[in-house]
Amino acid sequence: MKSILKLLTLLFIVITIQSPVFAADSASGWQDEVTQLETIYGGRIGVSAWNANDGQQLHYRENERFAMCSTFKLLLVANVLQRIDQKQEKLERLISYDKSEILEYAPVTSQHLDKGSMTVADLSKAALQLSDNTAANLLLNTLGGPQGLTDYLRSLGDNTTRLDRIEPNLNTNLAEDPRDTTTPKAMLLTLKTLLLGDTLSEASKQRLIHWLIGNQTGDDKIRAGVPATWLVGDKTGSGANGANNDVAIIWPEAGHPYLLIVYYSGSERSKNEKNAVIAKISQSVSKVFYPE
């Protein structure tokens, strides 16, 4: 049954991507395409993209706030890695936890209850690649909680992104609620600093990218919109009131990488349909940055 559902999901994405109504392949028509997607599927879409090849940028509602949901975990692990660079933390250090800390969505930490601990490295990998909520909370505790992560972002020059709560409460995505939000442009600039800058050591940067490439939750989102031969590292997120997000670094077969941030909120469509919208945006951005 799972294989059948997976096949149907992929077929839905392919049909949506190939639909002739979405044919923009230039920057001039790109914003109109995103507007069409909002009109058809409902909700509010925020996009920011930057091409390292020539500096070209694409933006749509780039300064509007969106709930980060689990995309914050990329920032969280980056903070952990910077503390490791500064000799304030160790990848191999064990963090203990018990059954009372296991949340409803904890696919990795729940499997290690018999040991009662996991290393910082394994918790980071679990938070990024399977979006384990307990792993994220345990790591947040080492940073001083949500405020500690927010302070780290301020030190990077990001004065917009903020984390106010822990999992799972940070996913409420209430209208006009600034808690646990960012803007597409702010997230883009911060990922540029973290993934393509020199804030992290080269070893930590490559470790973070490697974990992102191994993400197991994003096959139907940004990854679905680019050729299978391209390399993608991403972090997804979803929450209440239609929140459905993906942030990524993408390497074409030939050329420099580019960053793509997509936040989607307020649509009442199915998860598969919202994923397909993100995949379509991913495809359209790829065609603008690297036209065939």
Which sequence positions are flagged as catalytic? 70
Q: Which two tokens stand for residue 219?
A: 């096959």
d(CA 290, CA 292): 6
Sign of CA dihedral 227, 284, 215, 6: negative
Helix (H/G/I), strand (E/B), else coil: 114 = coil
List, in order, residues 6 or more apart from 31 with CB less than 8 Å away: 60
176: left (phi over 0), alpha (psi -120 to 50) or beta: left
**CA distance to 74, 94, 138, per residue, from 166 (Å):** 14, 21, 10
Closest by alpha carbon to 81, among 196, 236, 194? 194
| Residue 231 one-letter amino acid | L
For 178-215, the three-class secondary structure string (H helix, E strand, C coil) is CCCEECHHHHHHHHHHHHHCCCCCHHHHHHHHHHHHCC
CA 103/CA 137 separation, integer angstroms:
10
Please state, in angstroms and rounded to a whole number, the distance separating the CA atoms of residues 292 and 282: 15
